[in-house]
Structure 1
Amino acid sequence: MDSKFKKPKGFGEILDHTFSLSKKRFKDFFMIFLILLGPVYLLEAIIQLVSGTSFFRESGSGGGFEQLLANFNESQTIDSSSLSSDLGLIVTGLLGFLLFPVAEAAILFAINHIRKNEDFTVGLVIKQGFSRFWRMLGSNLFFGVIAFGIMIIPIIIVSFTGVFGSFVNPILGIGLAVVLFLGFAIGIGLLFTRWSFYFALVVLEKDSPTSGIARSWRLTRKRTWLLMGLYIVFYMIISSISFAGQMTFGILLGNSVLLSIITNIISLFTTMFFSVGYGVMYLDLKIRHDADDLKDLIDDYNKTTL
């Protein structure tokens, strides 16, 4: 077993391991996403070209914020009502929805091979990812229904509180709605964190959707706040990179197909980084849980022999 996977890690160690693993095996990890999602993004670019979007931004004057505002105005004048363009975007969105879990599963298999010091190829882990396709699809749909049901109730409560509270006292009503929103957001975030590793369990352990959620709940025991903090840090890193890339290239390229291609490449990189972090977090939980189970067995054995 790889030495870095042998012992439980803290907050900083998980981040450090994610960065080092992403850097060391960047070619393999990035190729997984490029092979699976690259054709989808290429199809999206072709659809944009066919619908009349320029490959490069049109020439013009100005710079800085003036250029950015000009780009925004361009986006308002682009005709996006074409039926063929809309259908094309729906198709690419559906393909992305179906293939992204395969890419994430392939990353999990690759990290698991690295943990065991086993050789692997990009083609092998992609094939392993596809072998879990229907199981992943069912579990994601199942989790999506649960997530929708959990989120819709707080949204309704916060909306009614804000609307009806504002009739009595606008400041009090809005303030109460904000407090409720923050409370629900933290609660839902903690709940989703406890359940979030169902996907890794479905992929690597062949769990069913329901058992995957139940086991994820047990795995994350006593680690919920730390895991949620890691998710927030990963989100901030990914958002910062995406925002910087879109702002920088958006000013230079405007609303062009080339900007869309560059943005999608950045998305591949950030998604790959998050997937590696997710895998490291899961395997850290697994080794902690296995160690706890071993301790419980030893304690039970000692009790029976006394």
Structure 2
Amino acid sequence: MDEKFTRPKGFGQILDHTFSLSKRHFKDFFLIFLIFMGPVYLLQALIELASGVSFFREVGPGETWFEQVIMSFDDTETVNLGADLGIALVGLIAIFLAPVATAAVMFAIDHLRKGEEYTVGSVIKQAFSRYWPMLGSTILFGLIAFGLFIVPIIIITIAGVVGAIVLPIVGIILAILLFVGFAIGIGLLLTRWSFYFGSVVFKEETPGFSRSWKLTKGRTWVLFGLFIIFSMIITMISVTLELSFMMVLGDSVLLSLIVNVASLFTTMIFTVGYAVMYFDLKVRNDADDLKEMIGEYNTPQI
């Protein structure tokens, strides 16, 4: 058993353990995501090429190089059709494949936690054994998240419009306050339920929401903060790479491939972080369960 997994970790220790695991086992973790999403991104590239997008460098009209690059992102019917179709296809297939890749990485980390040997093929096979429970639970979580977002949007819109009719500044302030309040509330709720996936993967409970709620008790704000940090890191890496290559390649197929490969890397980091947080919660929860069992054993029976 890896000692790092046996002790409860603080905020910084979780981040450190995440990047340590990602660095030491980068080849295996990245390969898992590449196996599942690589062919999908290749198909997207072929669709974009067929729609007329240049592979190496796409430029638009303009007198200077900078204007040509910027104009390459201007809407044109042919280019947008291929790009939109490619993005929609990737998104649709990702819904069905991403849970397997995520589960495979979690199984790999579980083997590392226990000090066991594994292969990429063996953890992928384990992941497929839990495919339908994972897919069903993920779709259900997505529907819950959609409902949590759509209702506040309606409320904020109505409140903002009514407030603007009475007094414009009041409507703006009210909309901002409601937006911040709902964003934090929804974030905390989704954090409490977000570890359903680990519960389903390791056969603890399906769909896993009540198990996740129990695991995250007393750790919601810390986990919420960690999700924000991971999201900021992923956003910074993605935006930096996209802007850097965009200035050279324009809106080209090669740019899409580079951005997609970068997304594999950032998704891998987020998945490793999620697994580290999940196993940390299990250590804390299992310790609490053990204390309760000891307390019940020591309590004299009347």
What is the TM-score when the length of structure 2 is the normalising length?
A: 0.94
Rate the CA distance shift 1:143–1:77 in 2: closer, same or farther, 3 A.
closer
Cα deviation 1:104-134 (Å, max 9, x = unaligned): 0111101101001111111111111111111
1:61–1:295 CA distance, 2 compared to 1 (3 A): farther
Matched with 1:152 is 150
Instruction: Structure 1: give runs of 5+ residues left out of the alignment.
Output: none
The residue aligned with 2:105 is: 107
Deviations 1:78-125 (A, max 9, x none): 334786775555333321221111110111101101001111111111
- The CA deviation at 1:278 is 0.1
Matches within 5 A, 1:65-84: 67=66, 70-80=68-78
| Counterpart residue type for residue 174 of structure 1 | I
Residue aligning to 1:237: 233
2:116 to 114, 118, 125: 118
Paired with 2:58 and 2:194, the residues of 1 have a C-alpha distance of: 44
Correspondence for 1:199: 197
Show CA shifts across 1:44-93 (max 9, x none): 01111111100111478746xxx2x5433212243347867755553333
**Paired residue secondary structure (1:160):** helix
Q: Contact 1:80/1:86 (CA < 8 Å) preserved in 2? A: no
- 1:16 — aligned with what? 16
Seen in structure 2, the aligned counterparts of structure 1 residues 193 and 77 have a Cα distance that, compared at 3 Å, is: closer
Deviation of the 1:289 alpha carbon = 0.2
- Specify the alignment match of 2:211 in structure 1: 215
Secondary structure of the corresponding residue to residue 299 of structure 2: helix
Quote the residue 2:255 is aligned against: 259
* 2:42 equivalent to 1:46: no
Q: CA offset at residue 304 of structure 1?
A: 2.2
Partner Cα separation in structure 2 for residue 52 and residue 123 of structure 1: 37
Gaps of 5+ in 2: none
1:291 alignment partner AA: A
Kindly provide the amino acid, as one letter, of the partner of residue 36 in structure 2: L
Partner Cα separation in structure 2 for residue 286 and residue 62 of structure 1: 58
Question: How big is the alpha-carbon RMSD for the aligned residues of Structure 1 and Structure 2?
Answer: 1.9
| Alpha-carbon distance in 1 for matches of 2:42, 2:116 | 33
Match of 1:182 in 2: 180
Letter in 2 for 1:243: V
State whether residues 108 and 204 of structure 1, in contact with CA within 8 Å, keep that contact through their aligned partners in structure 2.
Answer: no
Worse-superposed segment, 16-25 or 127-136: 127-136
The answer as to whether partners of 2:73 and 2:251 remain within 8 angstroms in 1 is: yes
- Matching residue of 2:270: 274
Letter in structure 2 aligned against 1:158: I
How much has 1:205 moved relative to structure 2? 2.2
TM norm structure 1:
0.93
In structure 2, which of residues 257, 269, 283 is the aligned counterpart of residue 287 of structure 1? Answer: 283
Aligned-pair CA distance for 1:162 = 0.5
Residues 166-206 of structure 1: per-residue CA shift (max 9 Å, x gap): 01000011101100110010001000000000011111125
Q: C-alpha distance in 1, partners of 2:15/2:83?
A: 40
Identity fraction in percent: 59
Name 1:35's counterpart in structure 2.
35
Alignment CA distance shift 1:153-1:77 (3 Å): closer
CA distance 1:231–1:88, change in 2 (3 Å): closer
CA distance in 2, matches of 1:220, 1:201: 12
Cα distance in structure 2, aligned partners of 1:242 and 1:58? 20
User: Structure 1 residues 223, 242: closer, same or farther in 2, change over 3 A?
Assistant: same
In structure 2, C-alpha distance between the alignment counterparts of 1:281 and 1:85, rounded to whole Å: 36
Distance in 2 between residues matched to 1:87 and 1:23, nearest whole Å: 34
Shift of 1:301: 1.3
